Amino acid sequence: MPCNTPPPPTMDDEEDQMEVPEMEDDIIIIEDTDDAVNTFVFHSDPVFCCNFDKVGIMAVTGGQDDRAIVWDTNTDQQAKFIVTGHRDSVIAADFNHDSSLVASADMDGMIQVWNVSSGSHEWDFETTEITWMAWHPTTNLLFAGTIDGNCWKWSVPDGVTCEVFPTHGVASSCGRLLENGSKCVVGYQDGSVKLWDANNSSLIGTLHDHKQGVLCLASSPDGTLIASGAEDGTVKLIKSSNFKVLHSWNVAEETGIESIGFFRSHPLIAVGTSQGDLNIYDLSTYTLRASTNLGDSIVKLVCSDSSPYVYIACGSNVECYDGRSCEVLNKWFCHDDRILDLAFSPNVGMATTHGITYCTGKVVCSLKVQKGYWREFLLYLKEKDCCNLQGNKYTLLEHTIEAKTKRQYFSLLCNSLLPHSWLRQFSPACSGHGEK
């Protein structure tokens, strides 16, 4: 063996940590898995948040690169404008009720509002680290919660109104306006949930039913019900009129409730956990109707407004399930890394998702590697950052190789990435320069 040839691979401790599934007949599948209509690549770091305007023509994204970007959803090459002035990661960004304004908030406590038509700065405010942000559904009132527990309400861009929902000493972790905009529900890190009057900023009620921090909130389409999910694995169903708990579900132990959604078309509620559990509960009987496990953490779920379908960001995929049975209906593959947010467009069939990186130059091919060597082959490709593991699928990154046959493709692939001695080790039958 030549002296410059690397030694045969070994399964060291670091490699042992990588999950490599068993596969029948030692088949490695390298497959093109990009279902995205457009790919927007103006961010240079992980994208933490995304939202559409009210008609789905524009989208706004915010990320770790301290920027928010407004862009045209019909093209992947044009940014309408870039929001500058943030000093830390942008964790929230959204359009107001008529899409004339866009707001963005960062972890340094800076919140900005820009005019969508002109791309000009309209208003800003500085406070402590912001944890959530929401527009009023019908007026230009903007709400936000902070790490010190205070929640703010501003009228923008005039700034006439500037009010505080005062803290009780712990961080505000999540918040949302009910559908008619009259009330604001806020979750806190000590497990408490508060309901505020959005008009006069007075406290309506407080619940202390969760034992750990509240992670997510949802409200029914008519605003009569509120659901809160917490780190303790429980979900509380609350009646908004008197702020009393109607029912409590112990969804899972030692796993957080990451996302909750109400269906408009059916009396059902969807619950997603950090362990990948999707549970559907019947609101008329409070019983579990259907459940499944997606195999990866559920980051966010969005229930359809017109059907019993729920769309879920899970791992690097977007998946669609029937809420009546938890039957998987579709999966869209468009990312190399974990999706961090999901927004559903008002235009049916369009969704925007953002993770960390995008795949380029993928190829479609099935490869058969000599028995006993495919694990080492996969690990070698992963070490070279040119292979992405997604379940039982392996996506080759940044390499496009044309070949008439699978064997020729395999040979060309290995000749371009591996020393010849490695090629002979992994698949002696394909050790030549490919079939003619």
What does the alpha-carbon distance between residue 127 and residue 109 come to, in Å, rounded to a whole number?
5
- pLDDT, tens digit (0-9, with 9 covering 90-100), for 162-218: 999 999 999 999 999 999 999 999 999 999 999 999 999 999 999 999 999 999 999
pLDDT of residue 39: 74
Q: Is the pLDDT of residue 31 over 50?
A: no
Question: Would residue 76 be called left, alpha or beta, if left means φ above 0 and alpha means ψ between -120 and 50 degrees?
Answer: alpha
In terms of pLDDT, which residue wins out, 379 or 192?
Answer: 192
Q: Is the pLDDT of residue 420 over 90?
A: no
pLDDT of residue 337: 74
pTM of the model: 0.74
- pLDDT, tens digit (0-9, with 9 covering 90-100), for 46-88: 889 999 898 888 889 999 999 999 988 877 667 899 999 999 9
Most confident of 32-36, 65-69, 110-114: 110-114
Task: Please give the full DSSP string across 6-74, using - where no structure is assigned.
Answer: PPPP---HHHHTS-----GGGEEEE------S------SS-EEEEEE-TTSSEEEEEETTS-EEEEETT
273 CB burial (10 A radius; 0-12, 13-18, 19+): buried
Q: Where does the pLDDT of residue 350 fall: very low under 50, low under 70, confident under 90, or very high at 90 and above?
A: low
- Encoding tokens for residue 345? 């467009």
